[in-house]
Amino acid sequence: MDLGLKDKVVVVTGAARGVGLAAAKTFLAEGARVFSVDRSFDDGYPLADAGRSSHRYANVDVSTEVGATSAVRLARGAFGAVDIIVLNAARHSTQSVAGLTSDELDLTYRTNLLAAAFALREFATALPAGGAVVVVGSTATKSVQENEFAYRSSKAGLRALAESAAVEFAPADVRVNMVTPGAIRTGFAKYGPGMLERLTDQIPLGRTASPEEIAICIAFVASPACSYMTGAELLVDGGLSMRSLRLGD
């Protein structure tokens, strides 16, 4: 697929695994140059040996102002310009409202919302006319489940951030959109046995998504093919949000 991304410089946060890693691979396959950012890259990172002319990566915590500034400096130092930003860094929280701690709320908000806000602030002046930002959301904001207040509220704030940035960046011809995945085929072990099966039963398409299926949607929204799209949210959830989600027995 040719999305017109050849030689574009793309920064992907939360790029060490899952959707972020898949997005980095997808952009590279489209001929883009990619700067991957994460707090920690595991040994054996699949893109560690990608050619330095097309891919660089750095351990940076963009949930801090210092980290966000550092990410901009490193990305521009590596490739000289930035055309596209994918804000994917995320952390899931499962504390109840009654059991919520200030440390948990602070960490979840910093990772999910403040990281994106700081990155947008720092990259705002680095993006040229025709630039694009893709914010990765969550369908957790479309239904109510117990023990998800911190996560849901941080992701709802992320949507508000994307919409505000879309309005503010539009005069500079910079687009800001959100891609909102549903259930992805990774990370369900922590929810206990049976959770994946119960969820899959409620998805109209009858299965969860692969990270690659989300990644190609991110690349599409970032591409010139969506040049008149800003402030929008693309749901990629197999139809799950059309239903009232119930995960109990």
- The DSSP annotation for 62-110 comes to TTSHHHHHHHHHHHHHHHS---EEEE---------STT--HHHHHHHHI
- Give the range of the structural domain holding residue 88, as residue numbers without chain letter: 9-241
Identify whether 136 is part of a domain.
yes
Q: Compare 169 and 141 and report the one with higher pLDDT.
A: 169
Identify whether 53 is part of a domain.
yes
Structure tokens at 209: 């998504």
Identify whether 4 is part of a domain.
no
Identify whether 177 is part of a domain.
yes
Contacts for 171 with CB less than 8 Å, ≥ 6 apart: none
Distance CA 110, CA 133 (A): 19
Q: Compare 98 and 104 and report the one with higher pLDDT.
A: 104
Torsion sign over Cα 227, 233, 238, 243: negative
Identify whether 249 is part of a domain.
no
Q: Of 186, 240, 175, 245, give the one whose Cα is nearest residue 215.
A: 186
Identify whether 232 is part of a domain.
yes
Q: What is the pLDDT of residue 186?
A: 73
Strands lying side by side in the sheet with 233-236: 55-59, 33-38, 9-13, 84-87, 132-136, 175-181, 233-236
Q: What is the pLDDT of residue 105?
A: 82
Residue 47 above 70 pLDDT?
yes
Identify whether 248 is part of a domain.
no
Torsion sign over Cα 67, 69, 72, 75: negative
Q: What is the mean pLDDT of residues 191-203?
A: 73
Active-site residue list? 138, 151, 155
Q: What is the pTM of this model?
A: 0.89
Task: Report the CATH number that the domain containing residue 62 is assigned in CATH.
Answer: 3.40.50.720
pLDDT per residue as tens digits for the range 53-76: 899 999 998 888 888 889 888 999
Longest dimension (CA), the chain: 53
Q: Compare 24 and 93 and report the one with higher pLDDT.
A: 24
Structure tokens at 201: 């039963």
Residue 210, CA distances (Å) to 23, 180, 182, 229 in order:
12, 14, 10, 25
Identify whether 75 is part of a domain.
yes
Q: What is the pLDDT of residue 164?
A: 96
Q: pLDDT confidence of 191, banded at 50, 70, 90?
A: low
Q: How many domains is the chain built from?
A: 1
Distance CA 162, CA 117 (A): 9
Element (H, E) at 177: strand 175-181
Distance CA 203, CA 238 (A): 6
